[in-house]
Amino acid sequence: MTALPDKLVACVGFEWDRGNADKNWQKHRVTRAEAEQVFFNRPILILPDERHSKTEPRYALLGQTNDGRLLTEVFTMKGKLIRVISARDMHRRERRFYEQASSKT
């Protein structure tokens, strides 16, 4: 598991771009509440998403909701706010990676 980015530790809330919030529900049936829960539940795995960080730092997150739903999210930071760009169910390969990494802690 990687340490939380310093900016994330100082986070005070979430900022939702209307398009992304609706897109996550329409495409993946992930609610805003579920996407936010993942940040507070452990274990959590956060990796830099360098491939998509052309204009701003982005991160990929693997974690779970309060009900145990395993999600993959891409997010960025806007000041002290988290902006979720994408949230969806983990793919099989991501689940294996998350479970292996989680068992090492």
| Mean pLDDT for the stretch of residues 14-34 | 90
Q: How many domains does the chain have?
A: 1
Write the CATH number for 56.
Answer: 3.10.450.530
Residue 67 maps to a domain: yes
Query: How far apart, in whole angstroms, are the C-alpha atoms of residue 39 and residue 74?
Result: 12
Query: How far apart, in whole angstroms, are the C-alpha atoms of residue 62 and residue 51?
Result: 17
Residue 51 maps to a domain: yes
Q: pLDDT per residue over 36-64, tens digit each?
A: 999 999 999 998 887 766 778 899 999 99
Residue 64 maps to a domain: yes
Residue 1 maps to a domain: no
Residue 77 in contact with residue 8, Cβ under 8 Å? yes
Query: How far apart, in whole angstroms, are the C-alpha atoms of residue 48 and residue 25?
Result: 24
Using a 10 angstrom Cβ sphere, with 0-12 exposed, 13-18 middle and 19 or more buried, the burial of residue 33 is exposed
- On the question of pLDDT at 5 being above 70, the answer is no
Name the residue range of residue 52's domain: 6-103
Q: pLDDT per residue over 70-103, tens digit each?
A: 999 999 988 899 999 999 999 999 999 999 988 8
Q: What's this model's pTM, rounded to 2 decimal places?
A: 0.87
